[in-house]
Amino acid sequence: MTPYYQRHVFFCTNDRGADHERPSCNQCGSVELRAYAKARIKKMGLSGQGKVRVNSAGCLDRCEQGPVCVVYPEGTWYTYIDEEDVDEIIDSHIVDGIPVERLKIKPEES
Q: pLDDT digit of tens for each residue in the chain (110 aa)?
A: 778 999 999 999 988 877 878 888 888 889 999 999 999 999 999 999 999 999 999 988 888 887 999 999 999 999 999 999 999 999 999 999 999 999 999 876 54
Phi then psi for residue 70, to 5 deg, are -135, 140
Q: How far apart are the first and last CA of the chain?
A: 32
Kindly report the CATH number assigned to the domain that includes residue 97.
Answer: 3.40.30.10
Give SS3 for 21: coil
- Please give the pLDDT value at position 109: 55
Domain span at 18: 7-105
pTM over 0.75? The answer is: yes
- Asked if residue 110 is part of any domain, the answer here is no
- The predicted pLDDT at position 17 comes to 74
Assess if residue 90 is contained within a domain: yes
pLDDT, residue 98, reads 96
The count of domains in the chain is: 1
Alpha-carbon gap, residue 11 to 66, rounded angstroms: 10
How many other C-beta atoms lie within 10 A of the C-beta of residue 96? 9
